[in-house]
């Protein structure tokens, strides 16, 4: 039984038959503003930066208006917004050339997590891979697809299929497991599109790709005397089936203490937009993770999905815990940088 597909179809049917709640409409408008395209993302980023830096965020939090509008959960999860990242379309390999990949940057990561995308490019080029960043790409469509908005999701999917030269690269690499899981399913979602199967077959999570390739002999990683807890996003474990790859990569770093987070098979509560629609359950799930982190006392929490990272980071802030949340590739890039000239 394809439960995921059944749930998606049911949500689409319910939205068509019963409409959408006021809070649901506000969430959808916010998501659409961030995912519609480059111009919409730039405008949204500018407004969000103004909201955060002008004092308006603090004022609305104190006033209680965010709760009345159903935006309190969304606001709490917001990291510091940066200007929209601008990428070159081509980054050449340094040293010997091993191949060529395309990088999927998605949407929200361009204003919340540029350091992960920068790290992907830095590590891939240092290991001998040319990196293409197609200009026409955008949101993977996951939030819309799983939220029952199939029409908009399919439009976003087709835009990405037009943007990516899947046939001419070794892999299409993604740094967000949630996006990777959706991209992998384009062939299932767009059965009439002949280009979808070839595209989906090329999708690889960055940790999977880096773990499977042969590293140049001259590349080494500097020691890191830190305690790193590793969180497995549900999409990495249950859809992509690559939860072992971040651990495999991080264990390459000398001196690091790796601790898989207990009960890693349980959701952190983020689950796309689930934490917005069902905040009480989401917060209970996250509280379990925070409790484990309090007990383990790691210096760093590594996770491979931007949605999980943002939700867990907001929980850590609320708990007053000074634990850095990063993608595993960011740790690799930091240590690779130290020894790149040797």
> Looking at residues 254-281, what average pLDDT do you find?
88
Mark residue 269 as left, alpha or beta (left: phi above 0; alpha: psi -120 to 50; beta: remaining): left
From the CB of residue 318, how many other CB atoms can be counted at a distance below 10 Å?
Answer: 12
* Percent of the chain whose pLDDT exceeds 90: 62
Domain 227-339 fold:
Rossmann fold (3.40.50)
How far is residue 263 from each of residues 7, 268, 291, 304, measured CA to CA in Å? 25, 10, 12, 16
Q: Which is more confident, 22 or 237?
A: 237
**Candidate from 124-128, 144-148, 178-182, 331-335 with smallest mean pLDDT:** 144-148
pLDDT tens for 280-297 read: 898 999 999 999 999 999
- Taking the alpha carbons at both ends of the chain, their separation in whole angstroms is 53
Note the pLDDT tens digit of each residue in 139-185. Answer: 999 988 888 888 999 999 999 999 997 668 999 999 999 999 999 99
Residue 97's φ and ψ, nearest 5 degrees, are -90, 125
How far is Cα 47 from Cα 321, in angstroms, rounded to an integer?
29
Distance CA(268)–CA(178), nearest Å, equals 13
Nearest Cα to Cα of residue 57 among 75, 39, 74:
75
Contact 184, 203 (CB under 8 A): yes
pTM equals 0.88
- pLDDT score for 16: 56
Let me know: does 101 contact 173? Beta carbons within 8 Å: yes
Specify the pLDDT at position 66: 85
Asked if 69 contacts 22 with a C-beta cutoff of 8 angstroms, the reply is no
Predicted confidence at residue 80, as pLDDT, reads 87
Euclidean distance between CA atoms 243 and 153, whole angstroms: 26
Structure tokens at 32: 């659409």
Express each pLDDT in 213-264 by its tens digit.
999 988 999 999 999 999 999 999 999 999 999 999 999 999 999 999 999 9
Of the candidates 184, 196, 210, which has an alpha carbon nearest to the alpha carbon of residue 327?
A: 210
> How far from 295 is each of 232, 261, 301, 303, CA to CA, in Å?
18, 11, 13, 18
Question: What residue ranges do the domains of the chain occupy?
Answer: 3-77, 90-212, 227-339
Q: Residue 173: its pLDDT value, please?
A: 98
In a 13 Å sphere around the CA of 303, the CA atoms on its Cβ side amount to: 26
- Mean of per-residue pLDDT scores for the chain: 88
Confidence of residue 6 (pLDDT cuts 50, 70, 90): low
Any idea which residue has 């361009």 for tokens?
110
Calculate what percentage of the chain has a pLDDT beyond 70. 89
Can 90-212 and 227-339 be said to share one CATH topology? yes
Whole-number pLDDT of residue 9: 54
Task: Tell which wins on pLDDT, 31 or 94.
Answer: 94
Mean pLDDT for 190-196 is 91
Looking at domain 90-212, which of 3.40.50, 3.30.1380, 3.30.2320, 2.30.30 is its CATH number?
Answer: 3.40.50
Confidence of residue 15 (pLDDT cuts 50, 70, 90): low
**What number is the average pLDDT over the span 335-340?**
63
33-42, 150-159, 207-216: which has the minimum mean pLDDT?
33-42
* Eight-state DSSP code of residue 92: P
Is the per-residue pLDDT at 340 higher than 50? no
């Amino acid at each position: 039984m394809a439960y995921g597909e059944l749930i998606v179809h049911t949500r689409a049917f319910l939205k068509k038959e019963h409409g959408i709640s006021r809070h649901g409409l506000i969430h959808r408008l916010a998501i659409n503003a961030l995912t519609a395209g480059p111009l919409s993302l730039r405008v949204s980023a500018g407004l969000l930066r103004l909201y955060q830096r002008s004092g308006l965020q603090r004022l609305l939090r104190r006033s209680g208006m965010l709760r009345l509008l159903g935006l309190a959960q969304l606001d709490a999860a917001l990291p510091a917004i940066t200007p929209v990242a601008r990428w070159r379309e081509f980054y050449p390999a340094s040293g010997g050339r091993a191949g060529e990949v395309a990088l999927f940057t998605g949407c929200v990561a361009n204003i919340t997590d540029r350091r992960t995308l920068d790290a992907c490019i830095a590590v891939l080029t240092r290991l001998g891979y040319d990196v293409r960043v197609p200009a026409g790409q955008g949101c993977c469509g996951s939030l819309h697809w799983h939220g029952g908005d199939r029409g908009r999701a399919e439009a976003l999917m087709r835009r990405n299929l037009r943007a990516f030269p899947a046939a001419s690269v070794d892999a299409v690499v993604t740094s967000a497991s949630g996006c990777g899981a959706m991209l992998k399913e384009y062939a299932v979602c767009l059965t009439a599109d002949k280009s979808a199967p070839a595209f989906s077959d090329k999708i690889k999570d960055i940790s999977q790709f880096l773990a499977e390739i042969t590293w140049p002999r001259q590349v080494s990683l500097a020691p890191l005397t830190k305690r790193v807890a590793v969180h497995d996003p549900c999409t990495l474990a249950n859809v992509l089936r690559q939860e072992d790859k971040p651990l495999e990569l991080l264990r390459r770093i000398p001196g690091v203490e790796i601790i898989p987070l207990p009960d890693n098979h349980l959701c952190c509560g983020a689950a796309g937009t689930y934490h917005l629609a069902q905040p009480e359950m989401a917060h209970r799930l996250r509280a379990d993770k925070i409790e484990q982190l309090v007990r383990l006392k790691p210096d760093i929490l590594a996770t491979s999905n931007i949605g999980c990272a943002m939700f867990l980071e907001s929980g850590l802030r609320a708990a007053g815990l000074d634990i850095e949340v990063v993608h595993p590739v960011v740790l690799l890039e930091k240590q690779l940088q130290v020894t790149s000239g040797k």
